[in-house]
Amino acid sequence: MALHTTTFQPETRVRVVQQMPQGDRVWTTATEGAVVRYRQAKTGSWFAHGRDDKLWLDRLELRRDDGELVTLNLDQYSVIEEIASADDAA
């Protein structure tokens, strides 16, 4: 089952904040861009004992403002929020 049940339509602008616990502190990073697609995709982890003997991850693909394509693996520490597009702000 997907961790992120809210789906965003392609071209929706979002900010994804992810946190990575590191012992006594937390690393936080934010990525903004337009949604290309959201999907569950399997990894090469053969030992996971999941569907098709693979580990399935929630993945969000974004196109950043500079055109770079970014694939984010989402987990329980990921927060996705819709943001206004640059066109809407003008």
Is 33 within 8 Å of 65 (Cβ atoms)? yes
| Residue 84 pLDDT | 84
Number of C-beta neighbours around residue 13 at 10 A: 20
Query: Does 90 reside within a domain?
Result: no
Q: Which residues pair with 66 in a beta bridge?
A: none
Could you give the number of structural domains in the chain? 1
Query: Does 3 reside within a domain?
Result: no
Higher pLDDT, residue 88 or 76: 76
Q: Which domain holds residue 48?
A: 13-85
Query: Does 71 reside within a domain?
Result: yes
Query: Does 69 reside within a domain?
Result: yes
**pTM score of the predicted model:** 0.76
What pLDDT digit, counting tens, does each position of 24-79 carry?
Answer: 999 999 999 999 999 988 777 666 566 666 677 899 999 999 999 999 999 988 99
| Residue 45 pLDDT | 62
Query: Does 59 reside within a domain?
Result: yes
